[in-house]
Amino acid sequence: MLYSKYEWRIREAAPTITERLAHDLSLPPIVASLMASRGIQSAEDGRKFLYGTFELTHDPYLMQGMREAVPRIRKALEDREHVLIYGDYDADGVSSTSLMIHLMRYLGASYDIYIPHRSNEGYGLHNHALDWAHQQGVSLVITVDTGISAVEQIAYANSLGIDVIVTDHHEPPEVLPEAYALINPKIPTCPYPFKGLAGVGVAYKLAQALVGDPPEEWLQIVSIGTIADLMPLTGENRVLVKHGIESMRKTRYEGIRCLLEVSGIHVEQVTAVNVAFSMAPRINASGRLDHAGRAVTLLTTEHREEAERLAWELDGLNKDRQQVVENIVQEALGMVQNRWGGQEIPPVIVLAGEGWNVGVVGIVASKILERFYRPVVILGIDPETGNCKGSARSIPGFDIYAALLTCKDVMDHFGGHPSAAGMSLHRDRLEAFEQGLHRYAEDALEAEHLIAVCEADLEASLSEVSVPILEQMEQLGPFGMANAVPKIVFRDVVIKDVRKIGKEGKHLKLRLQQKREVIDAISFGWGHLADILPVGSAVDVLGELSVNEWNGSRKVQLMIQDICANYQQVFDYRGIKEPIREIQRWRAELEPHLRCPAVRSAVVYAKDSHPEIKSQLYDMCLWVYDRNAGIVPDNEIAASGSQEEISVLFVLDVPETAEQLAAFMSAFHSVPNIFMLHPTRNLRERLQIPDREQFKKLYVSLAGMTSAPMPEIEVVTRLQKQTSLSSRMLVKVLDVFEELAFIQRDQGQITFVPKPEKKPLDASRHFRELSDLADMEQHLLHADTEQLTQWMTSRTKGVS
């Protein structure tokens, strides 16, 4: 049984609404169903969703603070004041700063920009930066994607005679700064109808207020920041991003064009998904490992050569970032094992490490969250000062910003959203910080919050999807937060081919079949699953569809997000080298898919066959075959546990007798996954199921040899020449003849009994055991994988 990573919840679309949308909008039923499952109830709503334009956006002057900000900026332009654009170092901050540069150029302003260094300075407005601005003659600061929490810093700017206009979209604190103007739709008193704008979206509304109808190409910058900052692609954001992506397909911005090319994306075919997974990480890498100014220059340069150089530099930084992340993730996983190995992991995971690059701790937090499905805080510790800077990522239903509010007394600074946040504090306060989060989680987290859920849009068959259908699905884009790429469940598809692909076999490629339909499928990072997805397996898959183009051919491809097999599975690894090492690897890699912690993992083997097993697999349930009891526990974990709770069984040796097989099957009849790792045996030693005619011929052959004693080895040699039976089989035959008193054995000599008492063959215990043992070995040692699987499955189902 292959367990799904998530609990699949399939949205239900009312058939009547689906039919109405399909009819009124001339859509295929599957596309209409997708729209209905996303809450679209009428043809009018459907037309707005599919074809909505700028009439669905809002007047920028509805945003509180705009009527104060615009005249102040115009005055600065008239008086040739020097303006400072103060941004942030993430992709939204980079986009916001870049958009403001385009705006300042458009307005002919005198301006400078300032973005703090993530590692050296940290998030937000800083007094030393304001001192620098004052020295440069700045009299107006416009913040983008930051500033809403900068109460003390803005007070300091006021003292310097600098006016500050804040444009931000982060959660506002209880006490707001006394800025010249505060523009943030999330301020409780702000009447702006749409609250989901990114920082760059708020900056764009300011640009709209200043110039009326900004150049369409500015929406390309808006798209990047909105997508990268995981803002909902609904309402106004949907309109802005949709038009931004359309503009990007014919972009004149050299930086965007080069970044797409470096990412391997055809400019004319760019999508919001490409922006999220290819462009945004490279832009973010600039601020994570270097300085975000490099990415700002890329998005604002007008020179092709500079754009190419910067795009390749960001690509290199992104590769470095990936390696840094991987190293920290491994350290963090080691910490989890050391702190809570074998124990229940706390409701909020807090991990801190010296020297961890604070530019990537947010990514690390996301990966640890994905592994354990709990809110996670990852902090980098400066070993010299003891100062910690970190990022938090949370799960649905747990507001991490609200959780941090309860710990604000132990932090120097914090800010963020319900799902993601940043903070700084001293290492001496880490324990109090962690305990505070745990206390909050005890009240706020329920058991159902800790169940990873994946919402799928619908179930379908492979025959329902095609390239034309996918092209119509694309009308539902741009896809991103709150308007995800459609996730579809396909049930009972059969694996026709399985391969590991990519560097070190990290990724998985499958060929799936359902009736006559066949589809290629890819799953990134799941190459290890190839070990437990044998050809012929029937599985359920959940994934996203795309069109794969290769050599002029366009085919539907499935990007697998999750996979499961809801039946007992037997994995054939007979004769594998170093089985104990493989057991350790499988348990480490496959635990989420097999749910096999040590106490739920069992190993069965022959006594003394693996002397190293107790030192290497000491934390697992160890069982050995026994001549009398059939099978017995070989360590305390096995003795105190229940076989009913075992989720995976590793078989290192075959039973020696049918009784041992029966005991083995009885003990582990309900185990969902069985790995057969036992050695194979030479065919020359093969046993055959006894045949009465065969025994009759052997009896005649023995009679024809001599009634005088003869060495048993010579008897076996002569019989081998007359038959195709193995020497091992012939020794078993002699055991039967001896039990029936057809021969006598004495000190290695055999004597034929001329006129024995007539007895039926099945009166011999050895004959019956030989039949059972030959049948057992035929399947365990010599059958092909399909036969072995069917035999094991039928045997386990036949006992209880």
pLDDT in tens, 719-734: 988 888 888 899 999 9
**Domain boundaries 569-680, CATH class:** alpha beta
CATH 3.10.310.30-classified regions of the chain? 344-426
In the chain, which residues fall in CATH 1.10.10? 684-780
pLDDT-based confidence at 800, cuts 50/70/90? very low
Distance CA 299, CA 296 (A): 5
| Confidence (pTM) | 0.84
Residue range 695-714: mean pLDDT, rounded: 87
Task: Give the count of alpha carbons within 13 A of 156, CB side only.
Answer: 15
| CATH class, 64-316 region | alpha beta
Give the confidence band of 342 by pLDDT, cuts at 50, 70, 90.
low
Outline where DSSP puts E strands in 627-770.
630-633, 648-651, 673-676, 710-711, 743-746, 749-752
**What would the CATH number be for the domain defined by 344-426?**
3.10.310.30
Exposure of 257 in the CB half-sphere (CA atoms within 13 A): 16
Rounded Cα distance, 95 and 295, in Å: 9
> Would you call 212 exposed, middle or buried from its count of C-beta atoms within 10 A (0-12, 13-18, 19+)?
exposed
Residues of the chain with CATH 2.40.50.460: 7-22+457-564
pLDDT at 337: 87
**Residue 676 backbone phi and psi in degrees, to 5:** -95, 110
The DSSP call for residue 448 is G
The H or E element that residue 204 is part of is helix 199-211
Provide mean pLDDT across the span 467-484: 94
- Cβ neighbors of 469 (< 8 A, separation 6 or more) are 28, 30, 31
What are the backbone dihedrals phi and psi of residue 194, each rounded to the nearest 5 degrees, phi first? -105, 120
Q: Tell me the CB-side half-sphere exposure of residue 796, using CA atoms within 13 A.
A: 20
CA of 493: how far to CAs of 43, 468, 490, 519, in Å?
35, 22, 7, 10
Confidence of residue 795 (pLDDT cuts 50, 70, 90): confident
**Distance between CA atoms of 134 and 139, rounded to whole angstroms?**
7
Task: Let me know if 752 is exposed, middle or buried by CB neighbors in 10 A (0-12, 13-18, 19+).
Answer: buried
Give per-residue pLDDT as tens, 184-196: 999 999 999 999 9
pLDDT value at 566 more than 90: yes
Distance CA 561, CA 488 (A): 10
CA 727 to chain centroid, in Å, comes to: 53
When pLDDT is averaged across residues 241-266 and rounded to a whole number, the result is 97
7: number of Cβ within 10 Å? 12
Given a cut of 60, whether residue 131 has pLDDT beyond it is yes
- Residue 224, Cα to own-chain centre: how many angstroms? 24
What is the token pair recorded at 629? Answer: 């009891």
Cα distances from 249 to residues 213, 234, 242, 273, in angstroms, run 21, 21, 11, 14
405-462 pLDDT, tens digit per residue, is 999 999 999 988 888 999 999 999 999 999 999 999 999 999 889 999 999 999 999 9
Longest dimension (CA), the chain: 129
Could you give the residue range(s) of every CATH 3.40.50 domain in the chain?
569-680
- Cα(657)–Cα(736) distance, rounded to whole angstroms? 16
State the DSSP H helix or E strand holding residue 493, giving kind and residue range, or none if neither.
Answer: strand 487-501
SS3 578: coil
In CATH, which of 3.90.550.10, 3.40.50.2000, 2.40.50.460, 3.40.50.300 is domain 7-22+457-564?
Answer: 2.40.50.460
Task: Find out whether 687 and 732 touch, Cβ atoms under 8 Å.
Answer: yes
**Per residue in 570-615, pLDDT tens?**
999 999 999 999 999 998 889 889 988 888 999 999 998 999 999 9
CB 151 within 8 A of CB 122: no
Average pLDDT over residues 105-133: 95
CATH fold of the domain at 684-780: Arc Repressor Mutant, subunit A (1.10.10)
